[in-house]
Structure 1
Amino acid sequence: MQARASVLDGAATENSVVVVGGGIGGLAAAVGLTKVGIPVTVLERAASLREAGACIMMQSNAWRALEALGVANDLRSRYAMKVERMEAYKKSGQRLNSLAVADCEGGPHELRGLVRNNLQSTLAAQLPDGVIRTSAGVSTVSNFAGPVIELEDGTQIKAKVVIGADGVMSTVGASLGIPKPVYAGWSVFRGMTDFPEGLPDPAPAFRVILEDTSGLMVGTYPVSPTRAYYFVCGPAPEDYVQKCKDKKVARAELEKRVKGLPLAMEAVVAHTPDEHLYISIVGDRKVPAGEPMGRGCITVIGDAMHPTTPAIGQGGAMALEDTVEVAAALRDTCAPAGFKPSDMAAAFAAAEPAALAQALRANERHRTERCAPLVELAHKNAERTIVNQNILWVWLRDWYISTFGFNPKTQLEYTLPYKASVL
């Protein structure tokens, strides 16, 4: 416990932002706050930064956020391969439709797959020593005007502002009375596999395979010339993940789902090591557009604010947008334009809690207005492609995709409204 005493001493955090959660959103928030000069501490429940899954697709709005955080070029240099096309297939291998990313309106667009753990380590590398505090699980947050954080071991610390970046089952969100997400009725396998001699099909395309009445949807894209990422979605009972906790069971279930699929999916799955195979159930929650979600000097971001299904690949992007905007909102409240980051710590310490709370509510209204339609769009897309298994609906779905799908005017329009604040 002595090693934690200096870490969690009230004097060390009472004039800083405490971010709860050391995932991608929590680390990105800390990077943004550090960049503008606001002191920050990240509390992570695990003994080390947790594994963050296989890969994540970063679309144009996410790259704008990463640029604001100052890590975009580093990541681009490590992940040079762009996704250049989007394609949809039937189980038979028939291609329903395709679209070049360059033809989508509002461009240029940028789509790249990143390994989640590398994104996490890149963000962590931007932070000064001592910012990230592991083995520091949070049990509750109270006294919203002058937040008090109680850890799982009973230790209490103070903070000027608390940002909950602790995921879909957020402890901070629960302290605020935010409802838990609702199970969406389906699960998703995620996998990443390497082919040292080159991918079986190295085309730089995001490809989706739509099953017939089983509700199965499979997606895959290359991360590099030798590495591929894929996901396999399908209806499942809520206890399905528990059933698949054993990797052998999970692999057997996954192999059953991809049997007979095109795009060499059986070979890709067979080539996936157990440590790169993940499964999770999927849930979301209707977001109150234009409404606040926090109280006092406590707010939430990412999945804690707007849990979503991955049906449009915007969960990570929305979280990164959140991190830039909350850092900008706090900076702008504490100091006028042009204020030096080196002077920000004193300005933040002197800021009135009421002013900080007002800034957080304004930011939450702005962010929920932005994210609510994306969560709804993802939910509807999943219902159309995964949940609804009626044979007539499947026929109509395939007809629509082959005739009107992948419209260059609308395909990536949800990435366009976000213009990142300058940090």
Structure 2
Amino acid sequence: MWGRIVRSAALINNVHGTLCQRQLFTMQLKTAEFQSLFTDGLTGIAELFEKHSHELRIAGGAVRDLLSGKRPEDVDFATTATPEEMKNMFSGAGIRMINNKGEKHGTITARLHNENFEVTTLRVDVVTDGRHAEVEFTTDWKKDAERRDLTINSMFLGLDGTLYDYFKGYEDLQNRKVRFVGSAALRIQEDYLRILRYFRFYGRVASEPDQHDTETLQAIRENGRGLAGISGERIWVELKKMLVGNHAAHLLELIYTLDLATFIGLPAEGNVEEMKEVWQRAHNWSPKPMTVLSALFRSSDDVEKLDLRLKISKEEKNLGIFLVKHRRDLIKDHDKQDSLKPYTDFIIDCREPDAQSKVCELLKYQGEEQLLEELSRWHIPRFPVSGHDLRKMGITSGKEIGTILQNLRDIWKKSHYKMGKEELLATVNTS
């Protein structure tokens, strides 16, 4: 899969005043996934940068994915060109630029052949406060790599397939190890959200739970309070990605072990043991993030507090409240042949468009694999009687119509939804 190592040059790297020996590792990548990136749009962008003698490389997560044999969904680029130089290049070539919000941080987004290309000038963080950074542009690729969070995210890939790796990111990726670039404490203090990014990527990369460096966990514990100043929306994005990755139960437990829970909106006395049991039962069925998280909650108040901190969606909040409320009382009936019926009756009575989806998540929570498969194939039947049918029978009182319809609905449910309109109407006493 991999080409031969092309070059290795010893470099001296000064990280925040600490002198240390580093190796720039390079190799050639010629995989099908890499070659598939070269659309007409990318070819046009690459030719433009080459024409103006500016370097352009693939950066960050896309490099990690390509080295893992995956075609990245999003590809970001880094360049030695300044934002002004990029704007002049794109304007001169008649290439449209969109979304100028990232320009102060060096990012220009160009649109060519119906594709967007996000290109960012190499930079260093001059001043950081744990949430935001003031940047200064540079032409030094190593300095840009230094400011990134994890070694596996600090690599660059030239458009000729040459990998540029300053911090042993490729070695860490091969060994399925997640490490901060340089000092974990310093990287975290630059942006406290990196704590959750560490957890998220651990779930994506590490083969086994609980293989963390002691120094890394210590740095996380000592700086965890900084998460209190991070916006809830940013925390929820990272937390959701962590919850659908590998080792989610271990990582959630670690959040409690390192005393981080209250800083990110989780209950101080979360039910960690139940969460671990739910994860063990459900993780093979792709539960939604809230399904796993709700096992920590002891009451609906915990969901409300989470919403206040993280600004979760209405759908996510409602699912959390539903699971907390019904995880004990909505269960299969072991005394009847049809164990699914309590769940289908609930969906019929609920009459909400997402009721079946919620109940599927409840079955994942409860570990009811067979019932989950049955419910996934089940289609909500249509109740065959309406108020119009009763009015045709001479019943005019709205209150009476409502009562009769509910009675007929109960009869219909007892028949396993098999009785038709005529059978149901025949049970109505109109005298």
TM-score range for the pair, normalised by the shorter chain length: under 0.3
Higher helix share: 2
Higher strand share: 1
